Structure 1
Amino acid sequence: MIDSHCHLDFPAFDLDRDQVLLKCAQLGVNSIVIPGTQASMWLRQILLCESYSQLKFALGLHPYFLHNYRTEQLQLLDQQLSLHQGKVVAVGEIGLDFSLPTDEVLQERVFSEQLNLAHQHRLPVIVHHRQSHNALIRLLKKSTFCNGGIIHAFSGSLQEARAYIDLGFKLGIGGTITYPRAKKTRAVIAQVPLSSLVLETDAPDMPINSKQGERNSPSYLPLILDALQALRTEPENDVKQACWQNTLNILPNISN
């Protein structure tokens, strides 16, 4: 299994990161993607991934941290993508979060500029969304970007899911589907093509059902897979194999 989105570099894991990774390996979670969030954290990410063979990294500017944004951060991102060519798996976590006080015009500009960098470096993207599906789909359609990627923690409508899939994206499936009350998201995930799904935890955030209030962990990925298998009509092993292959297809540098 591959956890396509986990912030294992966050301080929440500083005391037991080795133990968490050992447990993941025992459970068959053999690759974990750590998305970037802000320029000041990129070096920490890269050094961490160089220390553990099962960790892979993406680099990007998350909309949550744009209050510290400076234009030279895009230049630095361009440099780091070149320096780590073949190792960096995606540009991300990038996107739009309209629940934040950050200027929406600035968010859209930085997102579009990061799409351009991903296009230039022939990399997929990992996309964050909140109250922003319409704007994201509009900008993706307008852009020359064509490398696809993952819509992180997808929770939109079936129409939005199909729009992203038509644009070459996979849908990141995490702890939300473990909650019976998440009827809309569960119904959508049951209907979209199996070829469009990848697994993720977003640890230490987005705890799964029965673990509310606790630190989320990539070791819970098998429980998310269990929930997905229960929603799908395909044989359980087909679901597991498809999620693994889908992730490799959209993030091919994982295998490097």
Structure 2
Amino acid sequence: MQVFGSNVQRGDVHARQVSQGIAGKLTVTALSIAYYESLLSTLRQFRESYPNVQLIIKEMPSSSQARAILSGEADIAFMRKLPISAQNVQSRLLLDEEIVMALPADHPKAKEGRIDLRDFAGEDFVFTPQALGIGYHSQLIALCEAAGFYPRVVQEAAQIQTLIGLVACGFGVALVPESIAGSIMRDKVLFRRINPVTASPNPAIGLYMSWNIDNESPLMDSFISMLDFNAGPRVEGMLATQVS
């Protein structure tokens, strides 16, 4: 009876902590998080501030994250833009970064400064599969089309590390977010900024945080309050917004 009573007491304490937002579980989904220091810093801060919370981190493509948010499998998602609408989902811009070109270190243009995307019309490209992130994939295609060509994609890679590895091996060049540039294979892959295409500004792509407003978890609110958002406004009624 005493053991049963102590179990009940522990259960009551845990339930009270959950209701106060200092215990429980928070599930965060993201693209590969290793390249985003602001997100890593927030995850560290949250874990230190809420040691009794089970923080679950799942890496998955944006398309899977969208389904996870809508189904309640995830509390918070960090993704690229997606053409999916949902009235109970809000999104905010966390990071807006340039798209840069990843080149094999021995590529003729690897030692140049900024490069002109038009000069790569005849090059082989390495892309992530469209199914992993339709919006992200479409934006890269549209950027090439604005430069006057459709990219000749010779190889696809689901993981960014694999994609950069293929560039290093000479399979082709790749368009990637700027955050990738300072992280891997600097001796085998070089990254170059892209000159503006026509009259448009420098090509950029956003990383957004999305969450379901029907989720009343105080843990989710605490996590969101720790993040340092970019200057983008909150967007209601969309799973993700247009990239600026």
Q: Does TM, normalized by the shorter one, top 0.5?
A: no
> Greater relative contact order: 1 or 2 (C-alpha under 8 angstroms, separation 6 or more)?
2
Higher strand share: 2
Structure 1 length normalisation: TM-score? 0.28
Question: Which structure is larger by alpha-carbon Rg, 1 or 2?
Answer: 2
Higher helix share: 1
